[in-house]
Amino acid sequence: MARIPMAKRMAEGGLKKLFSGLLGRHKAEEAAPPDAELRASFEQTVIRLQQMVEERSFVDVRFPGRADSVYQSLILKVDPHERYVLIDELFPAHGQYFISPGDEVEISSVRRGIPVRFHSWVKSISIDEIDGLPAYRLALPDSVQAKQRRTHFRLALDPDSGVRLRIRGPDGERLLCTVLNLSQNGLGFSCQGNLSESLRESPVLRNCLLSIPGQPEIGCDLEARSFEFRKQPHRHTVVGARIDNLATAAAKQLEQYLVLTQRQQRRETVRR
């Protein structure tokens, strides 16, 4: 058997150690969890987009660098695993412009009064076998710009979430309201009837009671920052308010509910 020179064996051993070290480092990098802040931002992006799917919100579609044409579409699906957003055909038809994979896209919309915007690019185009209409698969963005003019993120709540608010009406009666969104320092709610005149005269609501399923009632004051009377689908007033005079224990209780509910929303979004 031929002998391998010592120098050659040492060189091969050194290379093996070098490659082993590089592979080991690569595996460690793959196993390392992503930055917590980036992960939270990505999860919030998926939640925002999924809510737009469920609400069938129209979006404006622009192609930067082309003539300033704006098209409308719908977000049909959000896939966080394959990392894409599927949007419906464009209206009006894009005419002379040929859309192809790689084209940059800007999507914008207004969700519950908050401007929403993100940039992406076309990954692929599929044609429906039945009607022959196209659908566009866009790269899922890492973040969505939602210009909330507040320091705490507002968590959108379904009407059947069970979160309710009791306030004093103009004549001192207790009014039961549905909470639409909630944060650590504010909320939006809907209440039957027209409260516009009352809120215009006195925007501060004293001794309100916030009810969260499975939790003791939370006492607080509210300061109405915005309100709008609507006649459809029934006569009601939508109010945006700041939470004041919240006890320390109640603030902790509210924070725990917000964290648990947001975590549940993320899980439901991932399962879809």
If asked whether residues 169 and 240 sit together in one domain, one would say yes
**Which string of DSSP letters, residue by residue, matches 17-67?**
HHHHHHHHHHHHHHHSPPPHHHHHHHHHHHHHHHHHHHTT-EEEEE-TTS-
Dihedral sign for Cα atoms in the order 115, 121, 124, 126 = positive
Residue 115 DSSP symbol: E
pLDDT more than 70, % of the chain: 73
Residue 57 lies in a domain: yes
Judge residue 50's burial from the number of C-beta atoms within 10 Å of its C-beta, 0-12 exposed, 13-18 middle, 19 or more buried.
buried
Q: Which helix (H) or strand (E) holds 251?
A: helix 248-271
Choice between 202 and 41, residue whose per-residue pLDDT is larger: 202
If asked whether residues 171 and 228 sit together in one domain, one would say yes
Token pair in block for residue 229: 């009377």
What is the average pLDDT across 20-40? 45
What pLDDT score does 164 carry? Answer: 93
If asked whether residues 92 and 161 sit together in one domain, one would say no
Looking only at the bridges linking them, the beta strands covering 174-182 and 164-168 are antiparallel
What pLDDT score does 265 carry? Answer: 74
If asked whether residues 159 and 246 sit together in one domain, one would say yes
Confidence at 69, pLDDT banded by 50, 70, 90: confident
Residue 137 lies in a domain: yes
What is the average pLDDT across 220-246? 89
Residue 182 lies in a domain: yes
What pLDDT score does 11 carry? Answer: 43
Q: What is the pLDDT of residues 42-63, one digit of tens each?
A: 777 888 888 888 888 788 898 8
Residue 31 lies in a domain: no
Query: Residue 96 maps to which CATH number?
Result: 2.30.110.10
If asked whether residues 249 and 176 sit together in one domain, one would say yes
Q: What is the pLDDT of residues 166-214, one digit of tens each?
A: 999 888 899 999 998 888 888 989 999 999 899 989 999 999 999 998 8
From 88, 89, 96, select the one nearest 69 (Cα to Cα): 96
pLDDT at 4 > cutoff 60: no
Residue 5 lies in a domain: no
Where among 129, 146, 163 does a domain terminate?
146
What is the average pLDDT across 257-271? 75
From 163, 185, 175, 253, select the one nearest 208 (Cα to Cα): 175
Dihedral sign for Cα atoms in the order 20, 26, 29, 30 = negative
| Nearest-angstrom CA–CA distance, 186 and 176 | 18
What is the average pLDDT across 267-271? 63
Residue 16 lies in a domain: no
What pLDDT score does 28 carry? Answer: 36
What pLDDT score does 65 carry? Answer: 65
What pLDDT score does 147 carry? Answer: 56
CB contact set of 178 (below 8 Å; sequence gap of 6+): 159, 163, 164, 165, 189, 190, 191
If asked whether residues 105 and 164 sit together in one domain, one would say no
From 236, 104, 224, 230, select the one nearest 175 (Cα to Cα): 236
Residue 241 lies in a domain: yes
223 φ, ψ (degrees, to nearest 5): -120, 115
What pLDDT score does 12 carry? Answer: 43
Residue 17 lies in a domain: no
What pLDDT score does 23 carry? Answer: 38
If asked whether residues 177 and 251 sit together in one domain, one would say yes
Q: Which helix (H) or strand (E) holds 9?
A: helix 6-31
pLDDT more than 90, % of the chain: 23
What pLDDT score does 15 carry? Answer: 35
What pLDDT score does 26 carry? Answer: 38
| Nearest-angstrom CA–CA distance, 70 and 64 | 10
pLDDT at 237 > cutoff 70: yes
What pLDDT score does 86 carry? Answer: 93
The beta-carbon contacts of 47-53 under 8 Å, at least 24 apart in sequence, are 47/262, 47/265, 47/266, 47/269, 48/111, 48/116, 48/144, 48/146, 49/75, 49/78, 49/85, 49/140, 49/144, 50/78, 50/269, 50/272, 51/111, 51/156, 52/109, 52/111, 52/116, 53/77, 53/78
- What range does the domain containing 261 cover? 155-270
**Average per-residue pLDDT for the chain:** 78
What pLDDT score does 8 carry? Answer: 43
Task: Among 120-129, 160-169, 235-244, name the one with the lowest average pLDDT.
Answer: 120-129
Dihedral sign for Cα atoms in the order 154, 155, 156, 161 = negative
Choice between 66 and 150, residue whose per-residue pLDDT is larger: 66
What is the average pLDDT across 212-218? 89
| Nearest-angstrom CA–CA distance, 91 and 136 | 13
What pLDDT score does 123 carry? Answer: 92
Dihedral sign for Cα atoms in the order 45, 47, 50, 52 = negative
